[in-house]
Chains A and B, each alone.
Chain A
């Protein structure tokens, strides 16, 4: 049975189940421990790193986590 407290969010285009109350900070930490060089957008809005801990995810949120790669 599906956990009623779980949320499904889209992370870089893939559905991910997270516990209710999960913050952006905790979500990004599952992808990387890099202290810099990473940015996140929540529903097409940039969330500054300093506000990740306060950004609680809600069901259906779209999260993009970007970094710099070779290009240009």
Chain B
């Protein structure tokens, strides 16, 4: 809805779906998927320049007028992440960074100590920091306290498609956060995304769920609708869960029928 803009880092977005570009089979399918997703903000990774590579993800984003969000994927220490963010700022002319500092290759879970350290350094350096974090309400609060523009808890490990494993933690985070909470990692299909929005997330970030789907463009459209549906449901306010049924038709005014004389 046009009156429900998503404010992030002082910028307003219409779309609440942040897309990643990793895992796409090619730039053509990526472009079609990004269009179908309706995204206005999309991540890229920073890697060594390979002179033999043709085509660039940057040209796709430029063509579609999608804002680029560099990440620090692949960094294991605060020092690496800070340097990567500074290189990204230099290369792409943006002081926004999706901060990732992971602990190990097997889980790709964030290293909370290094993450908080890097976040603080980058905020002090003038960056708009969007940290990929654990679904830990305490760490989320600390990231907000050092000046992060959002917190991006993982639903489950990157690329796992396991959805939101601890919805209660998400609720604890969204209930208290003073900055946008963005589901980052774990979404496998549309229902995961709708749930995130229903739990009070301001936006969802995903890549693999679309880029590795059988039909990436179709899944991108599904995610777009799921974000919108979940957001509307959150705003609408769901009914409380009840143990027993509650009739939706009135009990008054029912006809009096003789149970001894069945109609058949």
Q: Which residues of A contact B (CB under 8 A)?
A: 12-13, 31-32, 36-41, 44, 46, 48-49, 64-72
CB < 8 Å neighbour of B90 from A12, A49, A70, A71: A49
Given contacts A31-B51, A37-B91, A39-B87, contact A72 B20 (CB under 8 A): yes
A38 contacts B91, C-beta separation under 8 Å = yes
Q: Which of B44-81 contact A (CB under 8 A)?
A: 44-49, 51, 53, 56-58, 68-71, 73
B45 contacts A69, C-beta separation under 8 Å = yes
Distance between B223 CB and nearest chain A CB, rounded to angstroms: 15
C-alpha spacing A52/B88, complex, angstroms: 16
Task: Determine whether B93 belongs to the interface, using a CB cutoff of 8 Å to chain A.
Answer: yes
| Residues of chain B contacted by A71 (CB below 8 angstroms) | 20-22, 43-45, 47, 71, 73
A66 contacts B49, C-beta separation under 8 Å = yes
Given contacts A13-B48, A41-B83, A44-B83, contact A68 B90 (CB under 8 A): no
B98 contacts A72, C-beta separation under 8 Å = yes
Interface residue count on the B side (C-beta < 8 Å): 36
| Residues of chain A contacted by B90 (CB below 8 angstroms) | 39-40, 46, 48-49
| Residues of chain A contacted by B23 (CB below 8 angstroms) | 70
Interface string of B82-94 (1 = CB under 8 A from A): 0110111111110
A68 contacts B45, C-beta separation under 8 Å = yes
Given contacts A71-B21, A71-B71, A72-B71, contact A46 B83 (CB under 8 A): yes
C-alpha spacing A40/B45, complex, angstroms: 15
B92 contacts A37, C-beta separation under 8 Å = yes
| Residues of chain A contacted by B89 (CB below 8 angstroms) | 39
Identify which of A12, A36, A71 gathers the most chain B CB atoms within 10 Å of its CB: A71
A46 contacts B86, C-beta separation under 8 Å = yes
C-alpha spacing A71/B73, complex, angstroms: 8
| A–B pairs, 8, beta carbons within 8 Å | A38-B91, A44-B83, A46-B90, A64-B48, A66-B47, A68-B45, A71-B44, A72-B20
Given contacts A31-B49, A39-B88, A39-B91, contact A72 B207 (CB under 8 A): yes
Interface string of B76-117 (1 = CB under 8 A from A): 000000011011111111000010100000000000000000
B83 contacts A68, C-beta separation under 8 Å = no
C-alpha spacing A9/B92, complex, angstroms: 25
Distance between B250 CB and nearest chain A CB, rounded to angstroms: 53
B73 contacts A37, C-beta separation under 8 Å = no
| Residues of chain B contacted by A41 (CB below 8 angstroms) | 83, 87
> Chain B: which residue is nearest A68 at the CB level?
B44
